[in-house]
């Protein structure tokens, strides 16, 4: 059963790109697992990356994170999985139950590679240029430990919340693209045909180009140049 879609109607073109990426990822992951899987998108947004504590369900919840540097544009792709979900994927790929083993780490890294490549390929189609990622790095631990591995400061983010379904169960995941804001802007302009209105990097509310303070959350409205990932 597919998750209910939670999508701002203005972001429908991005959902379409996400669905295209999901189809490619489904085919690649099914081949790797040698059995049928399905990947469905439940949410797409442009909000900053949420604290990992809230994404994983609490400060003591252990998660698995796969981080891949993007090559053609400055930034990172970040895949976040709950520990139980990562174990399901490792078994799906016949990598065993020990997530700290080199075999399981390699399998989870390949899952991150497949997902990041698939969604970047869908973006490449509208940008008419190739977007790829470097080899993945895999880490497991508490939200605080994983948070320390991410770039600090605000960044331009494109977030996809989805799930992988197979006969072993459903695995929810979050995939964030922390990209150079100019690349995010190009993706949006190409997907929508016309530039989107600027949005507050903190709450996502549309703001006027002359606004210094967001009328929604009251926080300063950062410029694109200030929102570049480190």
Kindly report, residue by residue over 113-168, the tens digit of the pLDDT.
999 999 999 888 777 778 889 999 999 999 999 988 887 755 668 899 999 999 99
Q: Which CATH class is domain 9-227?
A: alpha beta
Comparing 20 with 197, which gets the higher pLDDT?
20
pLDDT given for residue 223 in this prediction: 44
**Measured between alpha carbons, how far is 227 from 102 in angstroms, rounded to an integer?**
35
DSSP secondary structure code for residue 213 in this structure = B
Q: Per-domain residue ranges for the chain?
A: 9-227
Residues in contact with 197: Cβ distance below 8 Å, sequence separation at least 6, in sequence order: 206, 207
Neighbours of 11 (CB within 10 A): 20
In sequence order, what DSSP letters do the residues of 108-177 get, joined into one string? HHHHHHHHHHHHHHHHHHHHTS---BPPPEEEEE-HHHHHTTSPPS--EEEEEEEEEEETTEEEEEEEEE
**Measured between alpha carbons, how far is 146 from 129 in angstroms, rounded to an integer?**
31
Angle in degrees, 0-180, between the axes of helices 12-33 and 102-127, rounded to the nearest 10:
140
* Rounded (to 5) percent helix, strand, coil in the chain: 35, 25, 40
Lowest mean pLDDT among 11-20, 54-63, 221-230: 221-230
First-last CA distance in the chain: 38
């Amino acid at each position: 059963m597919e998750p209910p879609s939670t999508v701002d109607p203005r972001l429908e073109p991005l959902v379409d790109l996400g669905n295209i990426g999901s189809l490619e990822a489904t085919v690649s992951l099914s081949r790797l697992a040698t059995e049928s899987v399905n990947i469905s998108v439940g949410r797409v947004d442009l909000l900053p990356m949420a604290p990992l504590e809230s994404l994983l369900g609490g400060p003591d919840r252990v998660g698995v994170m796969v981080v891949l540097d993007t090559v053609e544009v400055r930034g990172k792709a970040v895949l976040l999985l709950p520990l139980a979900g990562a174990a399901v994927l490792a078994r799906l790929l016949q990598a065993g139950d020990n997530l700290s083993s080199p075999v399981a780490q390699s399998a989870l890294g390949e899952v991150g590679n497949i997902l990041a490549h698939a969604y970047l390929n869908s973006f490449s189609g509208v940008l008419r240029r190739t977007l790829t990622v470097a080899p993945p790095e895999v880490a497991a631990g508490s939200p605080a430990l994983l948070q320390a591995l991410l770039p600090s400061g605000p960044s331009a983010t494109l977030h996809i919340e989805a799930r992988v379904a197979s006969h072993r169960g459903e695995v929810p995941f979050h995939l964030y693209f922390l990209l150079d804001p100019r690349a995010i802007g190009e993706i949006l302009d190409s997907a929508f045909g016309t530039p989107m209105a600027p949005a507050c990097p903190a709450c996502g509310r549309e703001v006027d180009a002359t606004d210094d303070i967001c009328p929604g959350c009251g926080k300063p409205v950062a410029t694109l140049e200030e929102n570049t990932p480190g």
